[in-house]
Amino acid sequence: MEFSHCLTFIKIELHKEQPLLELRAFRSGYFMRGSILAWINQMAMFGSLLLITLFLQQVKGLFVIPQAVLSSIGLNIGGRLFEKHGARLVVIVGISHRDLMLFWFRTRLKHDADQYVRTEGCSETIR
């Protein structure tokens, strides 16, 4: 049913004089690649945010309020850097930092998750 609604929406929007969403923009290769990269970036960012939050709460027993506070501070700093240096530098540094931290979390979380399964996780299932 959702697929038929999606097709109906596309058909209507392509024939409108002033569409809500200009679907013809996706004909441009640059726009299409940019949209796909933005989608992958959002998946990585929000997925890691969810997994890190769950890990900190369940395995480490930490609260995530400091994470929210640090995020708000980081957003303000990023906004000021954007105004001062422009988007290109801020985006390159931000994405590079995110990738490094995701790699570090992957190695760190794998070690902690394996240790959790060996000690606490298995002992809870045996009881």
Q: Note the pLDDT tens digit of each residue in 37-74.
A: 999 988 888 887 787 777 777 776 677 677 778 888 98
78 domain-assigned:
yes
3 domain-assigned:
no
Structure tokens at 124: 């809870």
**Average pLDDT score over residue span 87-116:** 78
105 domain-assigned:
yes
Model confidence band, residue 125 (pLDDT cutoffs 50, 70, 90)? very low
Structure tokens at 21: 């969403």
Q: How many domains does the chain have?
A: 1
pTM: 0.47
pLDDT of residue 124 exceeding 60: no
67 domain-assigned:
yes
pLDDT of residue 17 exceeding 80: yes
For residues 52 and 105, the answer to whether their CB atoms sit within 8 Å is: yes
17 domain-assigned:
no
102 domain-assigned:
yes
Counts of helices then strands in the chain (DSSP H, E): 5, 0
pLDDT of residue 1 exceeding 80: no
12 domain-assigned:
no
pLDDT of residue 31 exceeding 80: yes
103 domain-assigned:
yes
Closest alpha carbon to 65 in 86, 73, 4: 73
Domain encompassing residue 99: 31-126
